[in-house]
Homo-oligomer: A and B are copies of this chain.
Amino acid sequence: MSPDTAPRPRMTRQRREILDALDTRDFRSAQSWHERLRSDGSTVGLATVYRALQALVDSGDVDSVVSESGETLYRRCEAGEEHHHHLRCRVCGKAVEIDVPEFEEFARHIGDAHGYGDIRHTIELTGVCPECAAAGRG
């Protein structure tokens, strides 16, 4: 019942650094982003990176996918909040955004046909990017 004043987030040095690091276009784990930040001179803590990434996912500024091994990978996307999917390199994480026009409607139909509600879908393509293939990392 309390007015519940919106708690506006503070702009801290750590959050600036994390946003800056996310400037690239790869899917990486929280730990990987943390390593990169540290190697770039930041002293940000791991827990802070996890918290910031989670917040960014919630606000729609960052996309996350769960890898085959169960790790969560994060990436700042070009499409903003718009719904889209990815073709991601399994080796280096580099991703391009794709869309699957026919599928969005198809998913709803399938759900209806089986009486399932609140349908969500996951579509991810993975492969080995040209660079990784050339480097024999495939």
Contact = CB atoms under 8 A, between A and B. Distances in A.
A123 B115 CA distance: 19
Contact of A68 (B66, B125, B129): B66
A121 B120 contact: no
A118 interface: yes
Nearest to A65: B122
A113 to B, nearest CB: 9
Interface string A94-136: 0010101011001100110011111111111111111001000
Contacts of A102: 102
Given A100-B103, A111-B87, A121 B124 contact: yes
A123 B122 contact: yes
A58 to B, nearest CB: 14
Contact of A66 (B70, B111, B126, B130): B70
Which of A70, A111, A121, A125 neighbours the largest number of chain B CB atoms within 10 Å of its CB? A125
B103 A115 contact: no
A129 B128 CA distance: 36
